[in-house]
């Protein structure tokens, strides 16, 4: 079974996909973590993000993989590093580079061919698994998505204001929707769920019902 989950930041994709994967006894793959790891690599090596050739070379020469569902870069567990504000700001710039997308999509397609999986991202139903058994597009208002992300922050005063977080998410959405290759969009055959007024369990229930054919 292959399930594709796409949508903008904070729609609930990863939280819900993880629960659903457990429920269905299949693997979960967080494709955003792969683009984040590639971005972290460029930051670590002080590569100019505008220098596409250098970015691609660095990513080609790096080893990005999952072990026990956690993301690794060149042998180092980078699950904390990939969530930094710096990575948040830069990830959509790196992920719009065609060659970077090619590398990631090839890895993701390979994983999808070898096991039953629920994958979340931006181009899963459209590019990575166009033949998925089920496709979902989770959405929510920008206000709600920013609020969810704001509430996740440990030390709110030390990080950023709600307004700047909202702006940053809106900017990333715009970049993801408007890039040439693999933009964020609703796959023709996807079920769209607006999660704005829904609890996590309610979204999981809706998706599980669709999968069971109810
Ligand atoms: O969790 P959040 O929604 O903040 O982001 P993410 O899923 O970790 O994805 C981070 C970024 O990676 C996105 O804003 C996209 O720029 C990029 N991405 C992508 O281009 N294609 C994917 N399949 C997944 C993520
Ligand atoms: O992966 P994506 O960026 O789409 O979102 P997420 O990281 O799964 O969800 C962002 C936050 O919203 C998490 O803290 C979830 O617990 C929360 N959430 C929620 O409160 N209600 C929902 N219906 C979905 C997610």
Ligand 1 first shell, C-beta below 6 A: 9, 14, 31-32, 35-36, 91-92, 95, 121-124, 172, 176
Q: Is 152 within the bounds of a domain?
A: yes
Q: Please give the ipTM for the structure prediction.
A: 0.97
Q: Is 21 within the bounds of a domain?
A: yes
Q: Is 7 within the bounds of a domain?
A: yes
φ/ψ of residue 46, rounded to 5: 50, 45
Mean pLDDT of the chain: 96
CATH of the domain at 166: 3.40.50.300
**Cβ atoms within 10 Å of 119's Cβ, excluding its own:** 25
pLDDT over 90 at 154, yes or no: no
Q: Is 214 within the bounds of a domain?
A: no
Q: What is the three-class DSSP state of 192?
A: strand
pLDDT over 70 at 211, yes or no: yes
Three-class SS string for 37-102?
A: HHHHHHHHCCCCCCCHHHHHHHHHCCCEEEECCEEEECCEECCCHHHCHHHHHHHHHHCCCHHHHH
φ/ψ of residue 194, rounded to 5: -85, 110
How many independent structural domains does the chain possess? 1
Q: Is 213 within the bounds of a domain?
A: no
Residue 159 has what pLDDT?
Answer: 65
Residue 156 has what pLDDT?
Answer: 63
Cα of 33 vs centre of ligand 1, distance in Å, is 7
pLDDT over 70 at 149, yes or no: yes
Q: Is 125 within the bounds of a domain?
A: yes
User: In this predicted model, what pLDDT tens digit does every residue of 22-62 receive, in sequence order?
Assistant: 999 999 999 999 999 999 999 999 999 999 999 999 999 99
Q: For residues 107 and 29, is the Cβ–Cβ distance under 8 A?
A: no
Give, for ligand 1, the residue of 121, 144, 180 to mutate: max count of ligand atoms closer than 8 Å to Cβ.
121
Domain enclosing residue 103, as ranges: 2-207
Q: For residues 139 and 195, is the Cβ–Cβ distance under 8 A?
A: yes
DSSP string, 124-163: IIIII-TT-SEEEEEE--HHHHHHHHHHH-SSTTTS--HH
User: In this predicted model, what pLDDT tens digit does every residue of 92-140 receive, in sequence order?
Assistant: 999 999 999 999 999 999 999 999 999 999 999 999 999 999 999 999 9
What the block records as the tokens of 29 is 């793959």
| pTM of full prediction above 0.95 | yes
CB of 24 closer than 6 A to ligand 2? no
pLDDT bin (cut points 50, 70, 90) of residue 153 is confident
Q: Is 60 within the bounds of a domain?
A: yes
Q: Is 212 within the bounds of a domain?
A: no
**Cβ atoms within 10 Å of 146's Cβ, excluding its own:** 22
User: In this predicted model, what pLDDT tens digit does every residue of 2-31 receive, in sequence order?
Assistant: 999 999 999 999 999 999 999 999 999 999
């Amino acid at each position: 079974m292959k399930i594709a989950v796409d949508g903008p930041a904070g729609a609930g994709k990863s939280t819900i996909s993880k629960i659903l994967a457990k429920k269905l006894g299949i693997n979960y793959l967080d494709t955003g973590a792969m683009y984040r790891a590639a971005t972290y690599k460029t930051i670590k090596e002080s590569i100019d993000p505008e220098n596409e050739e250098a970015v691609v070379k660095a990513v080609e020469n790096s080893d990005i993989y999952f072990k026990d569902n956690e993301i690794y870069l060149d042998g180092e567990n980078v699950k904390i590093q990939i969530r930094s504000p710096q990575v948040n700001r830069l990830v959509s710039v790196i992920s719009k580079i065609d060659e970077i997308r090619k590398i990631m999509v090839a890895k993701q397609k390979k994983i999808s061919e070898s096991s039953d999986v629920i994958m979340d991202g931006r181009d899963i139903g459209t590019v990575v698994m166009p033949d998925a058994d089920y496709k979902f597009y989770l959405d929510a208002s920008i206000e709600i998505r920013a609020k969810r992300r704001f509430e996740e922050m440990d030390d709110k005063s030390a990080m950023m204001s709600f307004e700047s977080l909202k702006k940053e998410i809106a900017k990333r959405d715009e970049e993801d929707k408007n890039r040439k290759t693999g933009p964020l969009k609703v796959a023709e055959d996807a079920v769209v769920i607006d999660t704005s007024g829904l609890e996590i369990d309610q979204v999981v229930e809706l998706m599980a019902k669709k999968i069971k054919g109810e």
